[in-house]
Structure 1
Amino acid sequence: MTSNIHHRSVIFLGLQAGGPAAIWSSYIITIIFMLITAAVLAEICSALPLSGSIYIWAAESAGPKHARFFGFIVAWWSCTAWSTFTAGNSQTAANYVISQLTVWDIDFPGGTTTDNVKWRALIWAVSEALLILSVAVNYLPPRMYSAIFRFSVALMMLDFFLCVIWLPIAVSKTYGFRSAKDVFTMTYNGTGAPPGWNWILSFLFTAGTMTGFDASGHIAEETKNASVVAGKGILTSAFATGILGFITTILFLFCTPDLDTLFALEAPQPFVQIYALALGKGGSVFMTVIAVLGLMLNTSIAIVAASRLVFAVARDGVLPGSSWISRVTEDGQPRNAVTFIFVFSAAMLCTILPSQVAFTSLVSAGGVPTIAAYGLIALLRLTMTPNEFQGSYFRLGKFARPFYISAALFNVLVFAVMISPFYFPVTSETFNFASVIFGAVTIFGIASWYFTPEDKWLRPGTVQEELRSADGDVDNKDSGI
């Protein structure tokens, strides 16, 4: 359900890159290969259901000799990805809020375009405020989390049904649906890239909405029967996100105005103006409020998962200041890890001030490290440990090798898309700084590996115990115990 709001937030990026025809075709490809990637991750998650998940999976996929090196790098990647996602989500919510200014024809000094630094300053200030509110939820007593989660799910359900019922009815009575020919055959180049690469850039939208399905692994140590439940969570999350995302994407393609009208809209979040065209100004306010609340709760829940990851990485001695970051409260909550995520995310949002394309850069920077980790794990499983983790409940068997190859190659393609400039020709103000963030974080990870003593890292005993436990479970099943 969370993908519904996120889809609206970035679907215009897909429309600029290739148009409707590129979106739906790229989405089908993305679903297939992301499900393959999810299967690769579920296999190792089942054998190693530990907090810290993806970084431990990378370490163990590399084998004993190189485990520490790859573990440190992926740990830095993952912490960066989730913290940057938090920042990007906050800016997405801010874009919804301030887009109402254009709906109500409120003049802003210098205009409502990203080349106006005052406008960017407003986006930055609102983004930081919404980030603070989203983080604040994580300082509430843990007993309140379940109520917040239930409210979040209810809100997402309301949003989903309004989008699939109210929006289409309103569109049919106002500017009308796009034709099937438009939806399934129309192409568009709003990026200035060469035609082939312009089409491939649509993967920024399709793959960007299908990352993060490894989240259930981050809280594996707090999950009962984690060797089965956490792995199943990865697979069902990827499947549900893909199928629901594809259905709502097709719906939105039919409900958007013609592309000339769409790209003439000056709001930072064009969907707010689409609401205004279809539902009227009052309807757009109502849907915007729901979207902003949904995004903020989505951000808060993401911070819960991210804080467990950051806590586990710090507990294993990978980050500077690990002893402070890994400290927990009396009731076992990683509050310092939450604070760390807040500081990092707030710093990332400052990129809005100098950059005209901070939104696309943050979308990319939030996805690049995760996509890189997905591809690296598949590659390491193929080359370093193809016969390990036999105790997994989700063992791939004869499909292992083709799945590893497919997942590695697809994620390399998506990685290239995410570090590519989105608008051409490239200038200093339209440069995609995701590549700079990724490069810097990789260097920090290597430096951290080099300067941290071996005996300060990880709990090899815990990892081996998990592996023995998983293997033992399979042995027991095989022997009929």
Structure 2
Amino acid sequence: MMNSQPVDPEAVAPVATDMRADAGDVQLLARMGYKQELRRQYSTPQVFAIAFSIMGLVPSIASTLSFSLPAGPVGMVWGWFTASIFILLVGLAMADLASAMPTAGGLYWWTHYFAGPKWKSPLSFLIGYSNTLGLIGGMCSVDYTLALMILSCVSISRGDGWSASRGVTYAVYVGLILFHGLCGSLGGRLMPKIQTFCTYINIALVVATVIALPVGKVTRGGSLNSGHYVYGHVGNETAWPAGWAFMMAWLAPIWSIGSFDSCVHMSEEAMHASKAVPLGIVWSAGSAFVLGFLVLSVIAATMNQDVSATISTKFGQPMAQIYYDALGRDGALAFMAVLCVVQFLIGLSLVVAASRQAWAFSRDGALPFSGFFRHVSKRIQYQPVRMICGLVFVSILLGLLCLINSAAANALFSLFVASNYLSWGTPIFCRLVWGEDRFTPGEFYTGRFSRLIAWVAIVYLLFGVILSMFPTEGPSPTCTYLNTAMFLDRWLTIYLTEALNMNYTIVINGFVWFGCMAYYFLYARHWYTGPQITVDESDYTPSDNIIVAADPHALPTDELVSFGHKRE
């Protein structure tokens, strides 16, 4: 039991927290080598809300229907169900690590801690960059989808078949990215309350969609699709075999339930982090599994059985067409407007999570201009404002992909998947192969099933990375040619077609993965040695960003070696 001493309320900013839990949080963070720099203000439900709001079930399902619709109702509904089970297992494996070692840069920190001596620094360097890129990809894909949603509302309201050009879409996207950056920088103290609001509005939107779609369909004289159609009809609007089209439908839940690592990045702002963070991971993944299955079942029951008509809708968004068919013009506009609000909040939450990961990586000196970007603004409510601005700039550059075509824009979705899945799987793999004897469970632990869960998670994550690289429309065509001239002419046609429709994920991720490894071995290996010690003698005293109860049993900073750090 900790002994607490009264803290002068004038010496610190008033933060309503559990003082004992905060003292334990600071000590655990210090044992990992870091001093407390961000403000601890997130409760367990608010940590959960970060991940749950980023998932934003109905907007995320709307964003990814183009991945699952081509496989028909079976791909939509059962694809979500099966993939979600594996995703939940990944969440459990990550929760074990997050409870034991909660820090904002958790994924690359765990990799460095568990990996073998020769692999610590290069793997940590790779995962830090991959995770940062994945979160930036999430920012881009969310705001790109939001731009499409807003423009689909314009199309519905005009009623003349108008559709936005790529240039207009990009302009709206840039405006949204800039606005998100501004809100993320200035709204730090309000963010926990915003996350709570996000939870309520997301659940309300799920309930409203589940009720309104069937009621509207029947009221307008339509009929609901049969249970056999919803749960048993196999479709295939791709050039892939039907079985692989079903696997490609997994991209929808993979992308939608792909943000629970955001709880990890909020570790240094969470109260009682060793409990709050793992519960946030498991709750968010589990609730998305159940509620997503419900929403997709209702969508399959109310949508037009001519799937190709829904996919090629003039509104630019399949979900907009589904709302329009069931609820009419005004109902579709109302729901799409709410979807836009929720999607905006998703983007805001993602900016917060991404900035914390990138800030933590800069704190360890790994990103370019780390000394500049690691700064935390005390004037603007202890926010990493410079890092948020840097992420906005990179997102604007990556968004240029949407000017090419829809296939290039889809790379923003797959970029989020491939980079994050590599980042999630590597520390779990390192723990199993090199670091099991160094792993000490935290307050949350899956017990004797921990290793089995972790191995299943590894296999699934590897499959997910490979899946994200496949072109969504189908394989490349092949032909037999009678002469050289015909071959060259046909080959050039195929090449130009595939260049326009290829999946650009391998290009972008390959550039980052191989580029950062080249950067490491040619230059960074001389100075990057993993996470850096930042603790000092003031780490157990009250500060202006946290209320800490004094603990006479706190370890002296010279003994902070519990997690493998040594003072240099």
1:458 aligns with 2:531: yes
User: Would you say the 8 A contact 2:57–2:206 is kept in 1?
Assistant: no
Counterpart selection for 2:186 from 124, 140, 154: 140
CA deviations 1:362-391 (Å, max 9, x no partner) are: 111111111122222332222222332124
1:209 aligns with 2:209: no
User: Would you say the 8 A contact 1:72–1:448 is kept in 2?
Assistant: no
Q: Percent identity?
A: 23
Distance 1:196 1:464 in 2: 58
1:299 aligns with 2:333: no
Deviates more, 1:334-343 or 1:368-377: 368-377
Match of 2:278 in 1: 231
1:14 aligns with 2:61: no
5+ long unaligned stretches in structure 1: 113-117, 471-481
- How far is the alpha carbon of 1:209 from its aligned partner? 1.5
- How far is the alpha carbon of 1:404 from its aligned partner? 2.3
- How far is the alpha carbon of 1:361 from its aligned partner? 1.7
Distance 2:446 2:139 in 1: 33
4+ residue segments displaced more than 4 Å: 460-467
Query: How does the TM-score come out when normalised to structure 1?
Result: 0.90
Match of 2:506 in 1: 435
Cα distance change of structure 1 residues 211 and 402 upon mapping to structure 2, 3 Å threshold: same
Distance 1:247 1:57 in 2: 35
Distance 1:469 1:77 in 2: 23
- How far is the alpha carbon of 1:421 from its aligned partner? 0.8
User: Would you say the 8 A contact 1:14–1:201 is kept in 2?
Assistant: yes
User: Would you say the 8 A contact 2:112–2:120 is kept in 1?
Assistant: yes
Cα distance change of structure 1 residues 99 and 65 upon mapping to structure 2, 3 Å threshold: same
Match of 2:169 in 1: 123
Counterpart selection for 2:434 from 355, 362, 384: 384
- How far is the alpha carbon of 1:226 from its aligned partner? 1.1
CA deviations 1:146-201 (Å, max 9, x no partner) are: 44334433432432232122222102223322211111111122221133322211
- How far is the alpha carbon of 1:100 from its aligned partner? 3.0
User: Would you say the 8 A contact 1:58–1:70 is kept in 2?
Assistant: yes
Counterpart selection for 1:185 from 206, 215, 232: 232
Distance 2:394 2:562 in 1: 37
User: Would you say the 8 A contact 2:113–2:563 is kept in 1?
Assistant: no
CA deviations 1:298-346 (Å, max 9, x no partner) are: 1011111111111000110111111111112124210011111111111
User: Would you say the 8 A contact 2:188–2:382 is kept in 1?
Assistant: no
CA deviations 1:417-472 (Å, max 9, x no partner) are: 111111125511111111111111112321343322346642268799888389xx
Please show how residues 81-480 of structure 1 align to structure 2 within 5 Å: 81-103=134-156, 104-108=158-162, 112=163, 119-174=165-220, 175-258=222-305, 259-330=307-378, 331-426=381-476, 427-450=498-521, 451-452=523-524, 453-454=526-527, 457-459=530-532, 468=562
User: Would you say the 8 A contact 2:213–2:298 is kept in 1?
Assistant: no
User: Would you say the 8 A contact 2:366–2:528 is kept in 1?
Assistant: no
User: Would you say the 8 A contact 2:161–2:314 is kept in 1?
Assistant: no
**Which SS does the other structure have where 1:357 is aligned?**
helix
5+ long unaligned stretches in structure 2: 1-51, 477-497, 536-556
**Which SS does the other structure have where 2:436 is aligned?**
coil
Query: How does the TM-score come out when normalised to structure 2?
Result: 0.76
Cα distance change of structure 1 residues 47 and 454 upon mapping to structure 2, 3 Å threshold: farther
Letter in 2 for 1:458: P
User: Would you say the 8 A contact 1:75–1:445 is kept in 2?
Assistant: no
- Kindly name which structure, 1 or 2, has the bigger radius of gyration based on alpha carbons: 2
1:55 aligns with 2:123: no
Distance 1:182 1:62 in 2: 49
- How far is the alpha carbon of 1:264 from its aligned partner? 4.4
**Which SS does the other structure have where 1:80 is aligned?**
helix
Cα distance change of structure 1 residues 232 and 172 upon mapping to structure 2, 3 Å threshold: same
User: Would you say the 8 A contact 1:310–1:337 is kept in 2?
Assistant: yes
- How far is the alpha carbon of 1:136 from its aligned partner? 1.8
Deviates more, 1:59-68 or 1:277-286: 59-68
Deviates more, 1:386-395 or 1:215-224: 386-395
User: Would you say the 8 A contact 2:58–2:339 is kept in 1?
Assistant: no
Cα distance change of structure 1 residues 457 and 61 upon mapping to structure 2, 3 Å threshold: closer
Match of 1:72 in 2: 125
Cα distance change of structure 1 residues 227 and 148 upon mapping to structure 2, 3 Å threshold: closer
Match of 1:34 in 2: 87
**Which SS does the other structure have where 1:187 is aligned?**
coil
User: Would you say the 8 A contact 1:61–1:384 is kept in 2?
Assistant: yes
Letter in 2 for 1:254: A
Letter in 2 for 1:106: D
Distance 1:239 1:345 in 2: 30
User: Would you say the 8 A contact 1:328–1:334 is kept in 2?
Assistant: yes
User: Would you say the 8 A contact 2:185–2:384 is kept in 1?
Assistant: no
- How far is the alpha carbon of 1:73 from its aligned partner? 0.5
* Count of matched residue pairs: 461
- How far is the alpha carbon of 1:61 from its aligned partner? 2.8
User: Would you say the 8 A contact 2:111–2:123 is kept in 1?
Assistant: yes
Letter in 1 for 2:465: F
Cα RMSD for the two superposed structures: 2.4
**Which SS does the other structure have where 2:367 is aligned?**
coil
User: Would you say the 8 A contact 1:319–1:448 is kept in 2?
Assistant: no
CA deviations 1:63-107 (Å, max 9, x no partner) are: 443221111101111111111111100111111111234433335
Letter in 2 for 1:15: L
